[in-house]
Amino acid sequence: MERFRPEYHFSPEAYILNDPNGLVYYRGEYHLFHQYNIEEQIHWGHAVSQDLVHWVRLPNALFPDEIGQIWSGSAVADEKNHRLAAFFTYSEHRTGRQSQGLAFSYDAGRTWEKHPRNPILTHPEKPDFRDPKVFWHEQTQKWVMVLSGGTEALFYGSDDLENWSYLSSFGKGHGSHAGVWECPDLFPMETDGELCWILIVSINQGSPAGGTGMQYFVGEFDGIQFRNSNPQEEVLWLDYGKDFYAGVTWNHAPGGRRLMIAWADNWQYRDFLPTTPFKGQMSFVRELKLTDGNGRGTGRRLIQEPAEEIKYLHHDAARIAVSSFDQANGEKETVFLLPFTYLSQELELEFYRGGAWPGEFGLKLDYGGGQEFYVSVEPENNRCFVDRTHAGINAHKDFPGRYEGYAGCRGNCLKLRLLLDNSQTELFLNGGETVMSNLIFPEAQKVMINVYMRDGKLEQVKGNVYHLLADS
């Protein structure tokens, strides 16, 4: 395996990957298209999976042409015409403008025919006009397209996927505008019998950890206009780590599941990371659900957890149950070591308090030679932290850092789930109330994972640890 290549997160064979595109489930396959930069020529790469964890790379799907480069977009199953339809943004060679193109596939995504009338949608007044996400709106029996319009989301409607009419816009005064909005997604979710609509946008700067990030809105959509149900100044972040961007969801996922994958990287340092012969990798697939508040005030909130299909990667397993800890003083004290030293693991741990919570507890991932990665919880402040300052190679000034999220220490138990995969970490607290995704580049072949405490003690730590292998 090449140095730093993840074991079970998708990565390209070579060249540069970024945004996931065209996510669609069709005839038993999950399709993952993606931005694929091959010597400055932007294509759509292509992979398929039957189980969301074992991916087969296929030949590139869409290629640059005389109009322009092929930027991000989406795909839908046009069952009426027995085909897939892909929508993408042209970065036009001649004008530099952004416009929308369309292509069809009649062989389950293996080959594509571009529409003879491309580009099918233009907006000369918008320099940022990109990333079309198309879906079927059942109530109005129409196709809807949501696009990035710079600092707002633009909505269009169509009867036939080829001719589009402007519907409305959303965004002015709502959420964060620290950077350009990109890669929007809009979909319905139900909780307690109530239907809500979720609008997700990626934002090019201004995330909690710095650089690129993702925010979302919970509201209503009537087929024409999206209305935010929360105070317009409220910002809901999808991920509090540094490396989760351009995430979108699969169209037509079976069972009504809402499944998302994202680019695990940050535009601050994409070109400087030490991977070779590839750059860029995906997050693990997440399942999104809607719940009430997550302990952080009123209103609906998204929770995220790894797709249940991760169980197909479980190889070795160990059960953890440790009790009766000694009191820890003002220093961080290791209370026990987890059994595995593999670089690709899944940890599912539950931390129980007896009386008061300790001042701090968490995990120290020790790679040797002073390279270490911390996952820390500070119950008094209800905060969690990940610290990759000394976790290995820091290839850019914006790479090292300590990042903060909400811990949710409300009862007697805190649940912590960590996906570890060579150069990638994804942390899920309390069933996905808070998620933090961060790359690391340790120069090691194994890791010692320590459970530690400071100022107090825990009653018990229990759970499961798994070695994950993509060929298991």
Catalytic center residues: 19
Here the tokens at position 49 are: 């999976």
Residue with tokens 């996922």: 253
Q: What is the spatial distance between Cα 288 and Cα 257, in angstroms, rounded to a whole number?
A: 8
Closest CA to 21 of 94, 127, 103: 103
Here the tokens at position 431 are: 């069933």
Whether residue 119 has a cis bond before it, omega within 30° of 0: yes
Cα 313–chain centre separation: 19
Burial pattern 196-211, b for ≥16 Cβ within 10 A else e, equals bbbbbbbbbeebbbeb
Q: For residue 467, which amino acid is it?
A: H
Burial pattern 445-466, b for ≥16 Cβ within 10 A else e, equals eebbbbbbbbbbbbebbebebb
Q: What is the spatial distance between Cα 371 and Cα 368, in angstroms, rounded to a whole number?
A: 6
Whether residue 183 contacts residue 88, with contact meaning beta carbons closer than 8 Å, is answered with no
Whether residue 306 contacts residue 284, with contact meaning beta carbons closer than 8 Å, is answered with yes
- Residues facing 405 on adjacent strands: 384
Residue with tokens 């091959």: 38
Here the tokens at position 289 are: 């659900």
Q: What is the spatial distance between Cα 392 and Cα 372, in angstroms, rounded to a whole number?
A: 7
- Residues facing 288 on adjacent strands: 304
Whether residue 91 contacts residue 100, with contact meaning beta carbons closer than 8 Å, is answered with no
Task: Give the number of other CB atoms < 10 A from CB of residue 25.
Answer: 17
Q: What is the spatial distance between Cα 376 and Cα 213, in angstroms, rounded to a whole number?
A: 21
Q: For residue 22, which amino acid is it?
A: G
Q: What is the spatial distance between Cα 379 and Cα 261, in angstroms, rounded to a whole number?
A: 30
Q: Residues for the chain: how many in total?
A: 472
Which SS3 state, helix, strand or coil, does residue 47 take?
strand
Strands 165-170, 194-203: parallel, antiparallel or unpaired by DSSP?
unpaired
